[in-house]
Amino acid sequence: MTYSIALAGKGGTGKTTTAGMLVKYLVERGKTPVLAVDADANANLNEVLGLEEGETLGDAREDMKTGVSPGMTKDVYMEMKLQEAIVESKGFDLIVMGRPEGSGCYCAANTLLTQYLEKLMNNYRCLVIDNEAGMEHISRLTTNNIDVLLVVSDATRRGLQAANRIVELADALKLNIARKVVMVNRTREGQSEALDEALSQYNLDFIGTVPEDSEVQQFDLEGRPTVELPNENGAVQAAYRIFDKIAQ
Ligand SMILES: Nc1ncnc2c1ncn2[C@@H]1O[C@H](COP(=O)(O)OP(=O)(O)OP(=O)(O)O)[C@@H](O)[C@H]1O
Ligand SMILES: [Mg+2]
């Protein structure tokens, strides 16, 4: 059984950074192979993972509408395209969804894409899905069960409110998610009391905080992959304590 963790949250809270740390954690714990799925139309998980951007599944779908060579069936072609879109690394692979089809698209290409993606996922021990802000992308993956929805909030009241809305929306949509948890990223010293107070307004499964960290920022600025952060880094250690609570 594939263990899947999907990230969600308001814009810029640290979903992609956290996804990178989670992939690093799972690989180090030997929970391999891991498939990292970039479900953000504005894909950048590859940078955090230190990988080149490959062809996206959206590209594959568009190609399939137009470019299937004679003598090749659509499903053989799709399987080939899907294989091409997988970027391989040590202990983990990356697949980039790319631009989504307009909502309500039931075209054959989309159906095939979903089928192959599901088949592909079964080859992995763990799945880490980095989403864009909002929930649409999660509903695209409902056919596959999600074990943990990890909502990343910033240390603000409005951030927590947004996190709470995401959890409520996931509840309302009756998405197939076993556990919905919230973490707070980029906390600063002296905030814990106010944060506890703000958290007490909501009935959230809160699993910890990650501090604001200058090295994380420095890596980002210099274009160095998050997965290369040293394990002594305070943010990495805090994130790992959170992952200990959700990883199986
Ligand atoms: N703990 C941290 N300490 C310092 N900087 C951080 C921390 N976590 C994330 N950042 C920085 O915050 C910025 C936003 O992070 P990230 O891209 O991971 O957010 P996101 O939620 O994926 O954003 P988007 O909604 O645009 O996809 C980045 O510059 C990242 O380096
Ligand atoms: Mg992101």
Cα(1) to centroid(ligand 1), Å: 30
Domain ranges for the chain, please list them: 3-50+86-98+124-246
Nearest ligand 1 atom to the CA of 152 is 21
**What pLDDT, in 10s, does the model give residues 55-92?**
888 888 778 777 777 788 877 887 888 888 899 999 99
235 phi and psi angles, rounded to 5 deg: -70, -40
44 phi and psi angles, rounded to 5 deg: -150, 10
- Identify any residues that bridge with 210 across adjacent strands, giving them in sequence order: 185
- The correct CATH number of 3-50+86-98+124-246 out of 3.40.50.1000, 2.60.120.10, 1.10.540.10, 3.40.50.300 is 3.40.50.300
Handedness of CA 134, 155, 44, 127 (dihedral sign): negative
- pTM summary value: 0.93
Share above pLDDT 90 across residues of the chain, in percent, rounded to a whole number = 62
**What pLDDT, in 10s, does the model give residues 203-226?**
999 999 999 999 999 999 999 999
H runs (alpha helix) in the chain: 15-28, 45-49, 57-67, 74-85, 108-121, 136-139, 157-172, 192-199, 214-222, 234-246
Contact 154, 13 (CB under 8 A): yes
Lookup: tokens for 221: 């600025």
Task: Among 17, 37, 47, say which to mutate for ligand 1: greatest number of ligand atoms within 8 Å of CB.
Answer: 17
Q: How many residues does the chain have?
A: 248
